[in-house]
Structure 1
Amino acid sequence: MGDKRFYNHEIDFLPEINPYFSAIPDEALFSPEQVAQILNKSVETVRRWCRQEKLRSYCKGAYVIMGDDLKHFISESRPRLLRTKRP
């Protein structure tokens, strides 16, 4: 599961993720572009997660991701999200 020295033992996230994670309001709405920026992934990757139902989203002409669903996805996908985005 990776090098444990990089994790915060309280909630098992990298220390720089903790403030952002707790600052996401459950009722906040995010676009795939915003989620991609938060997670340092491509917009197409976020849309693919939505299509594959890996990231719960709502489609009203475009994908909308709720803060609570984003936090759940982050907590369930932590090892995969720690990889860096390819250029």
Structure 2
Amino acid sequence: MAAAGVLAVAREAEPADVAGGELATRTALSSDDGLSPGDVVAITADADGREETRGTVVRLSAEKIASRREDPTLGEIAIHFRRARYRIVKQ
């Protein structure tokens, strides 16, 4: 699929929980570093840290984090990051 097609699909879709069902709740999941679903975070790559992504945590695991944010072009999106090699700062 071409980039324009992928963006059109993203624009029409709404983020969903990748594990199925409801989005994670604060009481259902938290991490050892104090992050919980519902927290607002800033995420930057350790390597260069030039681009920052801010959003609300919706999923956490020992290896991954997903945050939800509003994109001016695509609307509401969920972005998934591996936790390794990224700096995640609670805002």
Give the alignment's TM-score, normalised by structure 2: 0.30
The higher radius of gyration belongs to 2
Name the structure with the higher helix share. 1
Higher strand fraction (1 or 2):
2
TM-score (norm 1): 0.31
